[in-house]
Every structure is written in C-alpha cells, then in structure tokens.
Amino acid sequence: MKKIFILIATCLLLASCADFTDLKPKGMNLLGSADELELLLNAEFRDYYQFDMLYMTGDMMSSTMGRIANVLTQPTPSRNSILLTWDESNVKRFAELTTHDDDYDVLYGYVGKIANPILASVEIATGDEAKKKQIKAEALCLRAWAEFLLVNKYAAAYNPATAENTPGIVYLTEDWDISLPPEKWSVKRVYDQIVADCQTAIDLNSLPVRNINQMRWNKACPYAIKALALMAMQDFDGAEEAAKESLKINDRIMDYWSDEYTEQIMCFMNPTLFYPAVFRPHMNCPEDIFQTNTEIKFMPLRTPEAESQLERGHSALDRMPTDGMRYMYTMSQAQNMCGVPYTMIWDMSDCGSTWNMYGLKTTHQYLIVAECEIRKGNYGEAMKYLDAIRVKRINPDLYSALEGVLDQYPDKKEAAIEFLKQTAMGENLYSVFNFIERKRWNQLDDMKETLTKTILDESFTLTPDSPLWIFPFPGNARDNNPNLTPNSYVEE
C-alpha cells in the first residue's frame, strides 16, 4: 500500500491531475525484490525536455520560433518573445504563459516514479544485500541529480547570506505525507539535502566503477553531483575535494579531433563531398559519467555572441554538424526559416552522435577544480586543468597551452577567469550547464556579468539580478499545489 500511495502522490505533484485520473497502479505492489526494484532504474533518461535553459543565456535560439522579426514586433508579448528579448517587465506574463513545462514533469517523474519508490521499499525488499545497497545508492543519485536541475531552473541562485530564507522548490522525499500538499523548501535546505543524498550514496560504497550502461549510476556520480552542488553553495574547498574524488574514478576526456571521434557529414548539394564533425558514440562516450539520451532534431540556431566567445579552432565551433555543411556553405537555413543569418545546428544526433545536454561529464569536474584553484591563487595549476580539456577540443594546428601564459597579464586573476569562462563556454554550449554556471557566477562579484545580444539591429541585455534567471513553475503544477507560489515575482 505504501508503494501505491507514493505513485498516487507523485501523480498529484506532477502536471495535471486529470491526466492521471484513470491511472491504476497495477503491479506496483509486486515490486518486492531487489531485482524487481532494479527494473525501475532501466528507464531511458531522455533529453527531449524543455529547452528554456539552453535559450535563456542567448547562446542558442529556437528555429521553431519562425520569423524572428515577427516574434519581436508582435503587439502582445508571447512567451517566445519574452524569452528572446529578455523582457523582464513581463516576468509575470511569462509565468502566466507557462502552462506546462517538460523539465518539471520529467524530472519530478524520475524522482516520484523511480527514485522514491525504490528508497521507500528497498529496506524491506528481498534479495541480495549488495544489490539492495547498489540500487539504493543509484536511487539517491537520481534524486539528487534531478533536484539539482530543478532548483537551478525554478529557484534563485544560492547566496550563502540569504539561502536559508530564499524560497526554493519541492524536494520530494520517500516519506512525504500524502495527506498534505508538498511544501517548498528553502534553497539552503534543498542543497543540503542534495549533498546529503550524495554523501549517503558515497557512504554505501556500493556503486560500480563502470555500470552496465551510462544511464545507470556509477561510483563517480555522487562525487560529481556533490561537487556541482557545493560549487553552487560557494563551498569551494569541499567542491574541489569532491571533484578530484570523481576524477580519481574517471578522468577521461575524448579527443574531438581524433579519427576515433570523427564522423563525415555528407553535403546534400554534392553527395561526394563530406565534412568532418565530432562523433560522440551513443552510450559509449568515455567522458560521460551519466548520460541522458539525445535523439533531438530541433535544429537550434547558434548566435554570433556565442561564436565570438569560442576559441579559434574550437571543435564546438568548427566540428558541429551545421546547415553550412549540408549546403556547401552556399545558403543559410536560419535565414530562410527565421530571417536571421545565424548558423543552424543541423542535427545534434546526426549519424548516431549523442550530445549529453542534461547529464554529467568528467569535464565539469575539471572546470570545478580549475575555478577553485583560481580562487586559491594557484593560476598555473588552474590553467593545467583547463589545458587538459582544451588540448582535446582545439584544432591541433592552432592549439597552444595556457600554462605559463598568465605571466604576461597585469591582472592574473582576471585573465584566468576569462580563460575559465571561455573554456566553459566551449564545453557547455550545447547543454543546460551554461545557464547553470552563469546563474551561479551571478552571485560572485569577480565573475558576474551582464549579458548582451543584438538581434536584427536591436540590442537586449540580461542583468545578473534579472528575475528571468528564475523560471516560473508551470501552471498545471501550480493549479494542483497551492504551495507553489512564484519565486520570480511577488504576487499582488
């Protein structure tokens, strides 16, 4: 009965309760063994959620918006126009127009339908004790990862001085009293629980170094999530320690310029002509600690502002499948479809390549260590960690190491931060982590910045304290839970 209650409670938390009125939790009461509970972890974790976080930073634009000029000039602001123009004067309307949100539904679904049923049942389940400890640790990792993404989207960034009183999100635990609607926790309480879940998973010492596939959690994962969370909390010593523990288990970085990780993109206008592009093999990328499956054909536009921040010869710029490759660089699909002369990313899953938009990579941990070393004034050590990424990303004919370069700069820290941001841009451009990192940096005086972009000769800015950094809870969730009061604006 407890398992049935958890499933029903999860349904009430998620999207529209009408969607679940006919749901009968048949079979849930049969999951009484470790092997049966493990079946829940065999879910396919997909990236086809909402792309809000990809677009908010101004690095990418959606080709599905249609003619951008029409979006900018419509008399009544749409959700797309508010997102595109960073119109914080319409933050309340942005919330009203957010009737649903795939990120919210899918991520809370992972918590409520997979992680928490396991955590509620594993202690009383039959079966091998070692297996029970492993799936418990995996469930804790899954919950911590999902809640980390959720708090980064729907709550303010962590400020140590105010986090205890800053409204956050629902952290759905396995012991939630279903007779009461779940309450929002403070941002501090959410992050504390993320770290606690990770630490419990670490202490169980039951995760394998390599799991059966990259959608199952392994020994490096709880350290990696813990490091990301501690960075957000500005516990830099703790974050660096966790990141280095993760790298002890897996420190591999793919060489995006090697033949092994290169695919040939055929030109439509000349089938005998091929262009080299990065190939990230599905479920077999050595730098992916935890992978979410990408089979996306949404063809986003890469903005000039993003391109200008990438290093010359960077694989994220020169080795991504684009409309230019498809049409011999003689026409622009972005111009035809959207009326802007941008680069269109043709297909992020082209020829079986996979892009880890929501998952965890070893390179996240290298960036964490580099930033922490900068904060300690160890600039040479920081550049060494950036170079470990850059040497696998920059065209070998153009690559030069950063280690030792800072001596020529009058302000070494400022230069080191710029190199860090540039490397992070290349690493995170095609994922949600550019949004997450920039939102975190907005709390740091030496790293925050106002973002700017120009679209069809019109300029727009996004300040570090803009309420748009906090996405609204979707309407269908707010309708079912009165505790989901807005975090991005104050209700009248």
How is the chain split into domains, by residue range?
2-50+101-218, 232-448
Locate 314 and state its tokens. 């960077």
**265-269: long-range contacts (C-beta < 8 A, 24 or more apart)?**
265/321, 265/325, 265/326, 265/346, 265/350, 265/351, 267/325, 267/326, 267/327, 267/328, 268/326, 268/327, 269/326, 269/327, 269/328, 269/330
Query: Can you name the residues that pair with 277 across neighbouring β-strands?
Result: 263
Check whether domain 2-50+101-218 has CATH 1.25.40.390, yes or no = yes
Place of tokens 């799991």: 211
pLDDT tens for residues 41-58?
Answer: 998 887 567 789 999 999
Q: Which of 336, 229, 184, 330 is nearest to 270 (CA)?
A: 330
pTM: 0.93
Q: Which of 86, 16, 99 is nearest to 50 (CA)?
A: 99
CA distance 18 to 251: 46
CA distance 354 to 45: 13
pLDDT in tens, the chain (492 residues): 344 444 444 444 443 333 322 333 333 445 789 999 999 999 888 756 778 999 999 999 999 899 999 999 999 999 999 999 999 999 999 999 999 999 999 999 999 999 999 999 999 999 999 999 999 999 999 999 999 999 999 999 999 999 999 999 999 999 988 788 999 999 999 999 999 999 999 999 999 999 999 999 999 999 999 999 999 999 999 999 999 999 999 999 999 999 999 999 889 889 999 999 999 998 899 999 999 866 555 688 999 999 999 999 999 999 998 999 988 998 888 999 999 999 998 866 565 778 899 999 999 999 999 999 999 999 999 999 999 999 999 999 999 999 889 999 999 999 999 999 999 999 999 999 999 999 999 999 999 999 999 999 999 999 999 999 999 999 999 999 999 999 999 876
pLDDT tens for residues 288-309?
Answer: 999 986 655 568 899 999 999 9
Instruction: Give the Å distances, CA to CA, from 382 to 234, 239, 447, 449, 484.
Output: 17, 15, 16, 21, 41
Sequence-distant (≥ 6) Cβ neighbours of residue 19 within 8 angstroms = 11
* Residue 406 one-letter amino acid: L
Query: Can you name the residues that pair with 21 across neighbouring β-strands?
Result: none
CA distance 161 to 115: 31
3-state class (DSSP) for residue 312: coil
